């Protein structure tokens, strides 16, 4: 039995290296069923993290610790799961256990210090927080967008009468292929208009698809702009006769998250009843700080726009029901 379990684990490790995480999970599960061990649970935990099934990852890491309280990787995996869930105090406690057990582990020290900074920052913000009726970014910008000057040197796409058009989006995508930045005036306008629309939408959106029509559902884009362009090349551009649903995780990790989200939001404004977007676990302030989107927005624009993105994300629907039969939502949330 021990050899059978080890064989299953080794096969799972190979699948993991090939990034075939579904196969790896199945094989780790087989090893656990044959002979449960802390190692197998910890390995399946990191695999679940890679697929962003954070709840399962947390459960497996905790099970690894239960089976062997001295197994350091169990604490490391559980800390990573807690971080992904935004439970920084719990993560810090586990990272501290890892650092104490392995004082020379550089990666553990880096993760511990990062987590410690977040915990201190949150504690400080809580201590000084005062409900002073502060306006949201969108409220602050209300009525002031016209005062933002578009420089004569700007040669990029422009909204037509303040509206998104098909020509605007086509120009925007070509502009982004040249790795140029949309003017902040239009960036602000798109986000404010998207927020206004989303505030009127339900959490669960019902979508009706005619029997003779196709409907494209896309998973995580994660800032891969050229992958997004390839999707449109293969499946056609969004339109009233070619509807799409992008099911969350538009940003983070990739280097072109800003470009991806503005193309998607532009299509949402152009075809509100034929282009759908759901909120994923990466459409949140904490995840954006950890996985790169927050820094990207600040580098390409400013902190105010990063805050406005968070306001917009808070209004995104969480799920869609297709023809009263198929529920589409983010399992990683």
Q: What is d(CA 258, CA 299) in angstroms, rounded to the nearest whole number? A: 10
282 a catalytic residue: yes
Radius of gyration of the chain (CA): 23
Q: At what angle do helices 293-300 and 303-313 cross, to 10 degrees?
A: 130
Please report the sign of the dihedral spanned by the C-alpha atoms of residue 269, residue 271, residue 275, residue 278.
Answer: positive
Q: What distances in angstroms separate CA 204 from CA 146, 218, 311, one per listed residue?
A: 35, 18, 19
Assigned token pair, 107: 């990666």
Q: What is d(CA 22, CA 262) in angstroms, rounded to the nearest whole number? A: 31
Direct distance between the N- and C-terminal alpha carbons of the chain, in angstroms, rounded to an integer: 36
* CA angle in degrees (0–180, nearest 5) for 299-304-309: 85
For residue 239, the 8-state DSSP code is B
Lateral strand order in the sheet of 204-207: 204-207, 319-322, 326-329
Q: What is d(CA 144, CA 44) in angstroms, rounded to the nearest whole number? A: 52
C-beta separation of 187 from 145 below 8 A: no
Assigned token pair, 114: 């990062």
Residue among 183, 274, 282, 320 flagged as catalytic: 282
Assigned token pair, 320: 């869609």
Q: Which positions are catalytic?
A: 282
């Amino acid at each position: 039995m021990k050899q059978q379990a080890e064989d299953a684990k080794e096969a799972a490790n190979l699948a993991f290296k090939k990034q075939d995480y579904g196969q790896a999970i199945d094989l780790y599960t087989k090893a656990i069923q044959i002979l449960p061990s802390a190692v197998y649970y910890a390995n399946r935990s990191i695999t679940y993290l890679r697929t962003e099934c954070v709840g399962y990852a947390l459960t497996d890491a905790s099970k690894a610790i239960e089976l062997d309280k001295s197994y350091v990787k169990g604490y490391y995996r559980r800390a990573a799961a807690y971080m992904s869930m935004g439970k920084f105090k719990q993560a810090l406690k586990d990272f501290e256990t890892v650092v104490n057990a392995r004082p020379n582990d550089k990666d553990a020290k880096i993760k511990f210090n990062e987590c410690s900074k977040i915990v201190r920052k949150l504690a400080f913000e809580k201590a000084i927080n005062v409900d002073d009726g502060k306006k949201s970014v969108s409220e602050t910008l209300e009525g002031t967008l016209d005062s933002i000057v578009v420089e004569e040197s700007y040669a990029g796409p422009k909204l037509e009468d303040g509206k998104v058009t098909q020509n605007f989006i086509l120009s925007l995508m070509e502009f982004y292929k040249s790795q140029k930045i949309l003017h902040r005036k239009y960036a602000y306008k798109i986000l404010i208009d998207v927020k206004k629309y989303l505030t009127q939408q339900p959490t669960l959106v019902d979508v009706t698809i005619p029997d003779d029509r196709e409907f494209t559902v896309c998973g995580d884009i994660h800032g891969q702009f050229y992958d997004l362009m390839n999707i449109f090349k293969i499946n056609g551009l969004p339109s009233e006769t070619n509807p799409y649903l992008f099911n969350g995780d538009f940003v983070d990790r990739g280097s072109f998250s800003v470009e991806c989200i503005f193309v998607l939001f532009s299509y949402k404004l152009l075809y509100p009843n034929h282009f759908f977007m759901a909120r994923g676990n990466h459409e949140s302030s904490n995840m954006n700080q950890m996985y790169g989107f927050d820094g990207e927005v600040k580098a390409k624009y400013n902190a105010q726009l990063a805050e406005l993105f968070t306001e917009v994300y808070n209004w995104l629907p969480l799920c869609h029901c297709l023809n009263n039969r198929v529920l589409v939502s983010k399992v990683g949330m």
